[in-house]
Amino acid sequence: MPYFLLVLLTLIPLLISSSSQPTDTLFFPGFKPPNLSTNLTLTGSAEIQANGILKLTNDTSRLQGHAFYSSPFRFKNSSNGQAFSFSTTFAMAIVPEYPKLGGHGLAFTIAASKDLKALPSQYLGILNATDVGNSSDYLVAVEFDTVQDFEFQDINDNHVGIDINSLNSTASVPAGYYIDGVGLVKQNVSLKSGKPILVWIEYDSVEKLVNVTISSSSKKPSLPILPLKIKNADVIEDWELEIGPQRYDYHELKRATNGFSDKALLGHGGFGKVYKGKLKDSKTQVAVKRVSHESKQGLREFVSEIASIGRLRHRNLVQLLGWCRRRGDLLLVYDYMANGSLDKFLFDDPKIVLNWEQRLNIIKGVASGLLYLHEGYEQIVIHRDVKASNVLLDDELNGKLGDFGLAKLYEHGSNPGTTRVVGTLGYLAPELPKTGKATTSSDVYAFGAFLLEVACGRRPIESNVSQEELVLIDWVWEKFTQGRLFDVVDIRLNDKYKEDEMLVVLKLGLICSNDAPMARPNMRQAVRYLDGEAELPEVLKPSRIYEGVGEGFDTFLHSFMSSTFDNTSSYSFTDQHGNGGTSIVSL
C-alpha cells in the first residue's frame, strides 16, 4: 500500500460579482508551525512531518487519512444562492511501496462535513459502501487514482476524475497534460511515480465550468486535461441541508420510472402524479410523486411534506424514503404500497371487495397513525386531508396514512395559527371557514367521515343518489334516529360483520363528524373506543344541541351540491386531487 504526500499551496474563492466583498485566501507554503497553527484538522493516519510535509498514509494496508481546513469555508452567497468561483493549487506525490503495483489514491474534497463516515482502499477515504451514489452526501471531489476499480467504472489504473456525490466519476481522463505550443499533444504522467505533481483546480461559477490541470513541472499548461461543464446545475438551498431524508439523484429516479412513463403511472396524488419505480442498485420498488408544475403551492407544499413526514416514524404512516429537486421538478420517494389507495376498494364497483375484518384493521391502523401525529411526535402534526384516497394499502392490506402535502405543525401546548382553508368537501370541518384554524379536532372530523365511508362503501358526498342520501353523515344520522342504523352498511359485505364492531364504527363516525368541535372525541379517545377499552354513549347529541355551531354549513352544503349537479356552470370548485372528491383550497 502506498503512502501519500500532499502540500496545499493556495485555495482562493474568486467572488465573481460587482460587490466589493474581499477575496478569501488560504496559503500554506508548508505545514510546519506556525503555518499550520490550528487551521487543519487531521484524522486517521494523517500527520505533519518535521520537514513540513503533510503525510496522509504510510505503508500499512487499508489506511485513510484526512486533512481538512478546520473552519467552514463559504462557497455560496446566501443572499442569492450563487456559488462562488474558486481556484486551488497544490503539489502532491504518491509514493508506493511497490512502484509497479501502485495503490489507490487521494482526493481533493469539498464536503458539507469534516466527519466523513468513509472507508479506505477503493473508497478513497471519502465515502463508504452504503453512501456510494447517495446524492444527499453533498460532496465534490477530484480524485487521483492508481487502481482500476470496475465497481466504479474506472477507465484505467492511472486517471484523474471529478466525483459528485459518488465515486462513479462524472468525468475522468488518463493522467497527463497538454504540451504548450505543439497542438493537442499529450504528455502522460504516472501518478504512482513518487515524483511531485502540481495540480490546478478551478471553478467558474458564471460558466459553470470545472477545469483540472496537472503537470510534472512548475509551469501551468494552457489547456486543462479535464474540463467539465456542469449542466443543469442546481443551487442547494439552505432548507435542503436541514431536512432529514436522503436526496436522490434525478437521473436515478428518471431511470427507475422509465422516464416517468405513463405505463408507470399509479395515479394522481395531492398536487401531482405518482409513478411506480424500481431503484437500479437496491432493486427496491418505490413510489415517486412528481409535484405538479401547475400548482401555485407546489414548492411550498413540497417543502411542507418533506419537513413534516421526513422525521416521522410509525407503522401506519407511509414512509418517505427521500426526495429530489431539479430545477422545476420536485420529487418525493416513498415506500411502494402494492395495493394502492383504499378508495379503489370501496367505490365504483371495485374488483375486490374488502371484508369487514380487513376494513376494521385498516380503520384501527389509520386511527393509530393519526394519534401518533397528534400526540406521539415532538410537535403536533395536523394532517388536514384525511380520507380514503390518502390511505394506502401494503401487500398485506394494512392501512397507512399518506400525502402530507397539506400538513401543518405547531408546538404542544400552543394554539394553531390562522391559515388558508384547505381540504376536501365532505371531510372539511364546518368551523374551518369561520375560524381559519386547522386543529386536531378538524382532523377528527375528517376521520369521522372516513369511518363512515369505509363502513358504508360510499363517499361523504354522492352525486348519483337521492337528495336525502346526498350527504353521507346526514343520511347515517337519519337512519340512526330511526333505529335503522345497519341500513347504511355496505351491501357488498352481505351482512357478514360483527354487529357490535359495526355499531362502534358507525356511532364513532357520527360523534367524530359532529359539527360542534367540543362534541368530538380526541384521537386517543377514538382509539380506546375502537379497541373496546371505553364504551360509547348510548345517546348521541345532534349538532343543533350546540348553539350557534355549524350554523348554515348544512344549508351551504346542500345548496352547493344541488346547484352543482343541476347547473354545473354555477360553481367552479376544482378537484386538485384527481380522486373524485371536491377539494376546497381557499374560502
Residue positions forming the annotated binding site for ATP: 289
Question: Is 249 part of the annotated catalytic residue set?
Answer: no
CA angle 131, 132, 136 (to 5 degrees): 55
Are the C-beta atoms of 525 and 534 separated by less than 8 Å?
yes
- End-to-end, the C-alpha distance of the chain in Å comes to 69
Pairing mode of beta strands 320-326, 246-247? parallel
Which among 72, 144, 136, 58 is positioned nearest to 110, based on CA atoms? 72
CB neighbours (10 Å) of residue 95?
Answer: 16
- What angle separates helix 440-456 from helix 499-512, to the nearest 10 degrees? 140
Binding residues: 289
Are the C-beta atoms of 161 and 145 separated by less than 8 Å?
yes
3-state secondary structure of 254: helix
Are the C-beta atoms of 159 and 226 separated by less than 8 Å?
no
DSSP state of 375: I
- Taking the CA atoms of the chain, what radius of gyration do you get in angstroms? 31
Q: What nine digits make up the cell of 144?
A: 487521483
Which among 368, 526, 367, 514 is positioned nearest to 429, based on CA atoms? 514
Which among 491, 401, 508, 521 is positioned nearest to 452, based on CA atoms? 508
Give the number of residues written for the chain.
587
3-state secondary structure of 95: strand
Are the C-beta atoms of 264 and 277 separated by less than 8 Å?
yes
Return d(Cα 362, Cα 390) in angstroms, integer: 12
Return d(Cα 337, Cα 274) in angstroms, integer: 11
DSSP state of 262: G
Give strand ranges (E) for 419-577.
423-424
Are the C-beta atoms of 76 and 110 separated by less than 8 Å?
no
Give yes or no for a cis peptide into 34 (omega within 30° of 0).
yes
Are the C-beta atoms of 198 and 218 separated by less than 8 Å?
yes
Catalytic hit among 145, 385, 443, 490:
385
Residue 289 Cα distances to 251, 312, 320, angstroms? 15, 18, 11
Catalytic residues: 385
